[in-house]
Amino acid sequence: MDLRTSTGLDPARAGLERAANVVLPRGRSLAALRGSWLGHALHPAFTDLPIGFWTSAMTLDVLHRDPETARMFIGLGVLSAMPTVATGLADWSALGDPGDERVGVVHAAANAAAIALYSAAWLLRRSGRERTGIAVSFGAGTAATIAGVLGGQLALAPTEERGRGAHT
């Protein structure tokens, strides 16, 4: 299935556009979220924080080490995802290509699933349900990986394939 041509995503695309119009600032603040002051997009750099925290938690889980620190890393990942979402939405709102926007909608949905699942994993672990929390964390990691693949498509696809986008 080619997400770029899947018009079934257009209602979600329109909904995300409405949400972006409500929550994103205007003018210089929006330009700052897009990284204009830095000369390139902020969103790809911001993704390193939640990914790094969540990968660290997974490593501790796989090694059966320090569940308290793993829980802390999951919480820090969720918290650091918030500015990452804001910069991603700012970039998405500038794409201007329906195909890219459709891919971005699925990217955002996968990230939303990852954040929700990591939040649930944190709560499960906090309540003493460590094994269930670890299982949910691995599901969250899967959603985050899918989101990352889609984000990579948006950030790295050749311009002639994508049309004019925010990162060109």
pLDDT tens across 120-132, in order? 999 999 999 999 9
Is 142 among the domain residues? yes
Give CA–CA dist 81/71, Å, rounded.
15
Task: Give the integer Cα–Cα distance in Å for 14 and 36.
Answer: 25
Burial per residue of 105-135, b for 16 or more beta-carbon CB atoms within 10 angstroms, e otherwise: bbbbbbbebbbebbbbbbebbeeeebeebbe
Neighbours of 64 (CB within 10 A): 8
Residue 11, domain member (yes or no): no
In a domain, 50, yes or no: yes
Q: Per the domain annotation, does 57 fall within a domain?
A: yes
Tokens of 57: 């938690």
Predicted pLDDT of residue 160: 47
Count of structural domains within the chain? 1
- 115 within a domain of the structure (yes/no): yes
Instruction: Give residue 120's domain range.
Output: 31-160
Domain membership flag for residue 8? no
Instruction: Check: CB of residue 107 under 8 Å from CB of residue 149.
Output: no
Determine the average pLDDT of the residues in 71-89. 98
Q: Is 20 part of a structural domain of the chain?
A: no
In angstroms, rounded to a whole number, what is the distance separating the alpha carbons of residues 162 and 145?
Answer: 22
Residue 15 domain flag:
no
The predicted model gives 2-14 an average pLDDT of 96
Mean pLDDT of the chain: 93
Pick 28 or 167 by higher pLDDT: 28
Q: Is 119's pLDDT higher than 60?
A: yes
